[in-house]
Each structure stands twice: as structure tokens, then as C-alpha cells.
Amino acid sequence: MQLSIRNQLAGEVISVTPGLVSTTVKIKLHGSEQIVTSSITKEAADELGLAPGLEVVALVKASEVSIGVPD
């Protein structure tokens, strides 16, 4: 499958926390200690079979990135 999304971050699922409607997925990025957290529908998480240890790619599509500077 080819995708138009250019921000693709490969990693490994380290936790999956299901809720009533949405599921929180934490992904440790390859080559770093950084963790990406995503909230997706429970249905999508179930269909993808997400579980700790699964190799995945986080696809990031954003129209805005905000930056804050501490006082």
C-alpha cells in the first residue's frame, strides 16, 4: 500500500488501553526512547489486532503544530 502521508514513524506497540469507545495506544519509536501516544476507536484497535510487541507505523497528518514557550 502506498500512502500520501509523509510523516511515518516506525515503532513497536508497548501498551494498549481500551476504553468504552476509544483505545489509547503507546508506540516506542525505533532508534530512540521517544513514545508516541495515539487515541483511536476501539473498533479500529480490535480490527488491527493491536497488542504489545506488534511492529507498527504511526502515520501523522496534521494541519497545525503549536509551540509553547515557558515563561
Q: pLDDT digit string (tens) for 8-17?
A: 999 999 999 9
Residue keyed to cell 489509547? 24
pTM: 0.83
- Give phi and psi for 28, each to the nearest 5: -90, 120
12, exposed or middle or buried, with CB in 10 Å at 0-12, 13-18, 19+?
middle
Average pLDDT along the chain: 93
Could you give the CA distance from residue 13 to residue 55 in angstroms, rounded to a whole number? Answer: 6
Residue 17: partners with Cβ closer than 8 Å, 6 or more residues away: 23, 24, 25
